[in-house]
Amino acid sequence: MKAIKRIGVFAALICSFFIVTFTWFPEHAHASGLTEEVQARSFIIMEMKSGLIIEEKESTTPNVPASLTKVMTAYLVLDEVHQGRLKWEDKVTIGSRAAGIGETQVYLRKGEEFTIKELFQAMLVYSANDASVALAEHIAGSEEAFVHRMNQKAKSLGLQNTHFVNCTGLPRRSYMDPPLVAGKQLMTAEDMANLTRQLLRNYPEVFETVSQPHIYFREGKPNQKLLRNWNMMLPSLTHAYSGVDGVKTGFTSEAGYNFAGTAKQDGMRLITVVMGTQSNDKRFTETRKLMDYGFKLYEMKQMIHARKGIPGHQKISVDGGVEEEVKVVAKNSLHLPIHKGKQKKYGYQVEITKKVKAPLSQGSVVGKVDILYDGKKVPGLKSVPLVIEKDVEEAGWFRKFFRGIRDFFTE
């Protein structure tokens, strides 16, 4: 009776549930004027490990992605490689359609052969449209079929406000025969940040390509071409920024100047996206403001340790067990970007979601814990399961009988 009452009081103190990604600590950005200071149609700052959004502006409003589209094209190429359907050294024969694509290109000619790796690098480093189409046709048979795969992948990744009509990001008018896909090419800054996060988490080898300031195409041949990365925030380039090692730029007259960037400093990786800036330089100066904001105000901390107890919530009562209390521990660790100098504002909220009654097996999930900031749950963060540290055997009838007598007289 007493044990059940203690569990009830403990559980009644708290409740929690999973909430989709959402901005937290908005008061800091508003106080600093960041949303007004950054000259972009939309922007976002996301911490890589947790996926938390530190700050944003119009990040769920669809915009034209331009060549940010190629991040999804790259994702599907890497899917194929990891599933064993492609090898980097596989040869691609260039068709007439890929050879005829304009705008930024490496001037592929019909009948030429290049490896998957060569085309992949040309697409991501130099934003070559012809390389993008050549990859799409090789993988899916046609660009149109490939675009359908892009949209399917967007859905599976939870990109709710994204739609592709081609694999390059070019406007339809730039195609002589655009893919027959209805709708308009659109993405949100939030979707772009989430796509970038999934790309970097699932396929970290992409850094080997997107971090290169330049590469050579047709290397060793008479028509060798130096391809310079459009990301001017990479080391040694015009807008170099400490820790930047990716990812992709994009531009059309309708989209403006877009940039999805990432940088790592002091163990924390940020992903930033700006859409609709006014010039090539602006997309980098505005990204610098976002990165400065994130790195100066936040730092990564391990808030929860796997197989360790939660401060203030080490043990819970067990009904009918040989032991009357059992230690609960976190099933996994949790790292979080926290506001520098405000660690005391963080706390824990625990919920026991299961009646704790013996017998219990080690590792049984009995509750969950959420992180609080200033007394409120941090939105966009998954709860961490709480589990039993060790087996708890059921008490025999004799022990239960005398406990019942004890509890009766101590009520």
List residues forming the annotated binding site for substrate. 248
Question: 113 is written with which tokens?
Answer: 């052969």
Question: 331 is written with which tokens?
Answer: 């099933």
- Neighbouring-strand partners of residue 327: 315
Is 127 catalytic? The answer is yes
Which residue among 127, 132, 317, 383 is the active-site one? 127
- Neighbouring-strand partners of residue 114: 92
Which residue among 67, 132, 317, 383 is the active-site one? 67
Binding positions: 248
**Is the peptide bond prior to 379 cis by the omega test (within 30 degrees of 0)?**
no
Residues 187-219: b if buried by 16+ CB within 10 A, e if exposed: bbbbbbbbbbbbbbeebeebeebbbbeebebbe
**Coil, helix or strand at residue 55:** strand
Helix crossing, 69-82 with 143-156: angle to 10°?
90
342 contacts: CB under 8 Å, gap ≥ 6:
none
- At 131, which amino acid appears? A
- Neighbouring-strand partners of residue 372: 347, 377
Q: In this structure, are residues 133 and 148 in contact, taking their beta carbons and an 8 Å threshold?
A: no
- Neighbouring-strand partners of residue 19: none
- Most distant CA pair in the chain: distance in Å? 96
Q: Where are the alpha helices (DSSP H) in 260-386?
A: 280-297
Is 174 catalytic? The answer is no
Is 16 catalytic? The answer is no
- At 9, which amino acid appears? V
Which residue among 57, 70, 368, 377 is the active-site one? 70
The catalytic site residues sit at 67, 70, 127
